[in-house]
């Protein structure tokens, strides 16, 4: 069962990941997240459910989530914890709620917006590099699952101007921007996430541009960049929208477009996936573009399109 009235409570309010919040808590009108002592008393009301890392309550139409994560535990594996403990069992649902409680846990785990997000990014990128050195099973770790995807992308993207579509938190653009010879632009539909990424990149001393836009309608001229990356984006889009994104990527790229998708038995709703791919479907997507391409597999499917 999901929290009653949850969907009705979701307002069309944008998430501001760097808005001021009191120490140890986050609230945005839809959700409230509080840092608690581990296994503390259930006050002022008993939870709907208590898991290994979270305690879920309801206040009217607002979701209230307690957690006891330490700063050293704050990284992108939070996505897997939320999905496994709260969303997969059906206690919470919807990508909007997922994004809000994710932001709330980050902001309540470390005091101050920039310190909280810097901790999150630093821990995640350090663990990506650790996974490159010593690969680990990806069953319960989104970082372990994505590390080989990032590594493969870095192998396929040559130095030059790169545009990343659907960047989300922007771990890949940050990894690219840290390499010599790359000029990187990250893009995403969420203005708050792009503001956050620009702030974090500046704090890390990286030259990284950001762009807020739909990946199907990018406000840049034809042939603006050498390479366009579309990494784990298409599974979030209906087929027609996804095809438009690929055509847009080909319009923007002078050399190549690199597409990656997960291979799943069914879409992972907690992460906002709405479709699955097979190798044959990925190859057909490439064939429909009329461009030279190749498809292979490495922790999911890869489609590389030659734009010239």
What gap in Å lies between CA 296 and CA 286, rounded to an integer? 12
Query: In the structure encoding, which two tokens stand for residue 148, read together?
Result: 């080989």
Burial profile 99-122: b = 16 or more Cβ within 10 angstroms, e = fewer: bbbbbbbbbbbbeebeebbbbbbe
What gap in Å lies between CA 146 and CA 161, rounded to an integer? 23
Give the per-residue pLDDT at 10: 33
Report the phi/psi class of residue 39: left, alpha or beta, with left for phi > 0 and alpha for psi in -120 to 50: left
Question: The dihedral of CA 23, 168, 162, 175: what is its sign?
Answer: positive
Kindly list the strands in the beta sheet with 225-231, ordered across the sheet, starting from the edge strand earlier in the chain: 208-212, 182-188, 160-164, 225-231, 253-261, 301-306, 293-297
Each residue of 50-82: pLDDT tens digit? 999 999 998 878 899 999 999 999 999 999 999
165: pLDDT strictly greater than 50: yes
Report the phi/psi class of residue 233: left, alpha or beta, with left for phi > 0 and alpha for psi in -120 to 50: alpha
What gap in Å lies between CA 86 and CA 150, rounded to an integer? 27
Query: If you average pLDDT over residues 193-205, what whole number do you get?
Result: 95
Going from the N-terminus, what domains does the chain have, and what CATH number goes with each?
Answer: 6-113 (no CATH), 136-306 (3.40.50.150)
Give the containing element (helix H, strand E) for 150. helix 142-156
| Mean pLDDT taken over the chain | 90
The proportion of the chain whose per-residue pLDDT surpasses 70, expressed as a percent, equals 92
Strand partners, 34: 25, 66
The proportion of the chain whose per-residue pLDDT surpasses 90, expressed as a percent, equals 80
Each residue of 102-118: pLDDT tens digit? 999 999 999 999 999 99
Q: How far is CA 13 from CA 2, 6, 10, 192, 302, in A?
A: 21, 15, 8, 11, 35
pLDDT band per the 50, 70, 90 thresholds, residue 94: confident
Query: Cβ–Cβ contacts within 10 Å for residue 175, how many?
Result: 19
pLDDT band per the 50, 70, 90 thresholds, residue 45: low
pTM greater than 0.85 (yes/no):
yes
Each residue of 237-291: pLDDT tens digit? 999 999 999 999 999 999 999 999 999 999 887 778 899 999 999 999 999 999 9
Dihedral, 194, 199, 202, 206 alpha carbons, nearest 10: -30
pLDDT band per the 50, 70, 90 thresholds, residue 140: low
137: pLDDT strictly greater than 90: no
Residue indicated by tokens 């846990």: 105
What gap in Å lies between CA 245 and CA 216, rounded to an integer? 4
Give the per-residue pLDDT at 11: 34
Please tell me which residue, 203 or 44, carries the higher pLDDT value: 203
Percent helix, strand and coil across the chain, each rounded to 5? 40, 20, 40
Identify the DSSP state of 83.
I
225: pLDDT strictly greater than 80: yes
Query: If you average pLDDT over residues 131-153, what whole number do you get?
Result: 86
């Amino acid at each position: 069962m999901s929290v009653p009235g949850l969907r009705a409570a979701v307002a069309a309010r944008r998430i501001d990941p760097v808005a001021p919040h009191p120490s140890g808590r986050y609230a945005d009108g839809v959700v409230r997240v509080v840092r608690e002592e581990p296994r503390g008393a259930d006050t002022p009301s008993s939870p709907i459910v208590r898991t290994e890392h979270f305690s879920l309550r309801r206040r009217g139409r607002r979701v209230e989530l307690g957690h006891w994560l330490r700063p050293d535990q704050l990284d992108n594996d939070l996505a897997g914890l939320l999905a496994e403990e709260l969303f997969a069992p059906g206690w919470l649902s919807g990508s909007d709620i997922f994004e809000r409680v994710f932001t709330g846990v980050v902001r309540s785990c470390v005091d101050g917006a920039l310190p909280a997000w810097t901790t999150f990014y630093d821990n995640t990128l350090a663990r990506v590099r650790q996974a490159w050195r010593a690969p680990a099973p990806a069953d319960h770790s989104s970082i372990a699952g994505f590390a080989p995807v990032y590594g493969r992308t870095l192998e396929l993207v040559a130095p030059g101007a790169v545009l990343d579509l659907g960047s989300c938190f922007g771990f890949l653009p940050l990894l690219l921007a840290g390499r010599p010879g790359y000029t990187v632009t990250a893009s995403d539909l969420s203005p708050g996430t792009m503001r956050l990424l620009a702030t974090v990149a500046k704090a890390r001393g990286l030259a990284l541009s950001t762009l807020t836009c739909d990946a199907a309608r990018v406000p840049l001229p034809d042939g603006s960049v050498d390479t366009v990356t579309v990494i784990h984006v298409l599974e979030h889009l209906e087929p027609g929208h996804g095809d438009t994104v690929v055509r847009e990527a080909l319009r923007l790229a002078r050399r190549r477009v690199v597409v990656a998708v997960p291979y799943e038995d069914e879409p992972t709703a907690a992460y906002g996936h709405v479709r699955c791919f097979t190798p044959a479907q990925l190859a057909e997507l490439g064939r429909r573009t009329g461009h030279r391409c190749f498809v292979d597999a490495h922790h999911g499917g890869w489609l590389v399109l030659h734009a010239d």
